[in-house]
A and B are shown apart, each in its own frame.
Chain A
């Protein structure tokens, strides 16, 4: 298992500038009532990493640090060897896309206009999108099956469609690191699976690194390559799903008894809550 973690990035045919590797090294942070202990992990291109843990365990803080936006008190984050916190915001935004779901919009945009905003870091001095920019917007809309919604208003589409629009905007950024904070919140199980499958497929085909924060343990077990379990600002376990999803550990962290067995069809771990 250790060799899996340390092995060299896979080289694939036709991989261009999107080849990436994320190294988070001993990042630590402190709020008045919360402390994130030094945490490290690495992700290879094409992989999907899920950060799991109870509310307030520091998942979103870790994600914000990994994005290069929140500066850690110690440690560093490298994307392809470059320290993200040393990059100017615009350059960083050309490489890192972070999507949160809590955005409250008071002004409506058409879906395509909303997705188009993802091109912002690439516009440079120009005030308008180039033909190239428009092609990436079309590409992102197509990948997220939003082409038919182009002219609809973002305040009028369903939450599942909105979640896809947020993902499309992030994809239109063409980042090499995609960070998603609870991308499946408010989605029914069909949409949840569809969303994560899409992220996973795209991470592989576009060979970006995807890191998500999620509460859906079984979804993470099925679709993530690598898990990090946080509790009260400490990373208790990381590794493949079967290494992290241990019944004793989860029962303690989530303060409720769980049984972990195997999903008969995928062979991946399956977490079941037991009524106490």
Chain B
């Protein structure tokens, strides 16, 4: 299916998906250790309910976590979509390519050195993502061209190497206030502070908005770098900006949630099936779809084995890895 990219269609699509996200968000607020009916969720949200307990559960426990899932989901899905266009590879994803691991390592190092400076961790995670992306990009380039499988292998190997470094550093830091290996390597949305949300909301919002300005250039890039250049796109400039934005989105997301995998693969793929490959419709679909999918995944993660919790990355990997294999087999021909 394809939704023709016109101003009206994009607006309608965005509204429809936003409504879907609101429904999923409200639903997720009702689910948990204590089931809250919608009426109580609503009064809890307005802090006008009869029970103070419901207000605390809704506003202080569930809402921040769900907002975090929305922001991280949107950031990772949009980052994956942009990387797939730039690398012209439907299998590109910040996690598979090792970029999330680079960001996680950056965040850990920042927590180690920077300690309590709230902006240090997302900032250095952005740097880690950028360095890893540059590294994998140059490893994946053969004779001036991007070799699809070389790139993927370079990413996978880099991810595994960086995971080992993360384990090493975390072992050294075991006495410090740095979260555990499951958090950094699999991703987890269970702890979030207001400060973190305060950083995430403007950065993710602005990152996606700026990226959207390049939507039509990304379309032309899907045709190939040479074709894009002949259609008047400054490929080097657009490429650099989009790489920066994809790294930024991945970096800030990973710094607060760890390396949640496959979302940047799963969601864009669903989006392509739903609206087609025009980035003017695909990017908003990926952003809102990523938010929806991660809220759903996290709701599953915290309820499916209650009272215990799964890291959300386990849920996204269970759904995403089969999609990766499917895409790998389909593009192999």
Contacts and interface: CB of A to CB of B under 8 A. Distances in A.
B7 to A, nearest CB: 5
Contact of B2 (A67, A105, A110): A110
B276 interface: yes
A7 interface: no
A69 B229 contact: yes
A103 B280 CA distance: 22
B230 A105 contact: no
Interface stretch (B57-65, B124-132, B215-223): B215-223
B261 to A, nearest CB: 22
Interface stretch (B107-115, B231-239, B309-317): B231-239
Contact of B230 (A93, A106, A109, A113): A93
Contacts of A89: 229, 232-234
A26 to B, nearest CB: 23
Nearest to B91: A106
Interface in B42-97: 84-85, 88-90
Given A107-B90, A113-B2, A120 B276 contact: no
B277 A100 contact: no
A55 B4 CA distance: 41
B198 interface: no
A117 B220 contact: yes
Given A113-B2, A117-B219, A120-B220, A128 B230 contact: no
B58 to A, nearest CB: 38
Interface in B264-279: 272, 276-278
Nearest to A110: B2
A107 B213 contact: no
B280 A128 contact: yes
A90 interface: yes
A107 to B, nearest CB: 5
Nearest to A87: B232
A100 B227 contact: yes
A173 B212 CA distance: 23
B277 A108 contact: yes
Nearest to A109: B277
Contacts of A46: none
Contact of B223 (A97, A105, A129): A105
A94 interface: yes
Nearest to B5: A128
Contacts of B227: 100, 103
Contacts of A109: 2, 222, 276-278
B171 interface: no
B272 A107 contact: yes
Interface residues of B, number: 34
B213 A127 contact: yes
B273 to A, nearest CB: 11
A93 B223 contact: no
Interface string A121-156: 101000111000000000000000000000100000
B175 interface: no
A90 B232 contact: yes
A127 B216 contact: yes
A118 B277 contact: no
Nearest to B1: A110
A118 B231 contact: yes
B123 to A, nearest CB: 30
A95 B198 CA distance: 48
A190 to B, nearest CB: 27
B224 interface: yes
Contact of A110 (B224, B272, B276): B276
A98 B90 contact: no
Nearest to B7: A128
A67 B230 contact: yes
Contacts of B272: 107
Contacts of A129: 6
Contacts of B89: 106
A127 B279 CA distance: 11
A109 B282 CA distance: 12
A200 interface: no
A202 to B, nearest CB: 19
B10 to A, nearest CB: 8
Interface in A75-108: 89-94, 96-98, 100, 103-108
A96 B224 CA distance: 17
Contacts of A127: 7, 212-213, 215-216, 280
A138 to B, nearest CB: 13
B190 to A, nearest CB: 36
Given A113-B278, A127-B213, A120 B331 contact: no
Given A106-B89, A121-B231, 20 more contacts: A69-B229, A89-B229, A93-B230, A96-B230, A100-B227, A103-B223, A103-B227, A107-B85, A107-B88, A107-B277, A109-B2, A113-B276, A117-B220, A117-B223, A120-B231, A120-B233, A127-B213, A127-B216, A127-B280, A151-B2
19 contacts: A69-B230, A89-B229, A89-B233, A91-B232, A92-B232, A93-B232, A94-B232, A96-B230, A105-B222, A107-B84, A107-B85, A109-B276, A113-B4, A113-B276, A113-B277, A120-B219, A120-B233, A128-B5, A128-B280
Interface of A: 67, 69, 89-94, 96-98, 100, 103-110, 113, 117-118, 120-121, 123, 127-129, 151, 173
Interface of B: 2, 4-7, 84-85, 88-90, 148, 212-213, 215-216, 219-220, 222-224, 226-227, 229-234, 272, 276-278, 280, 331
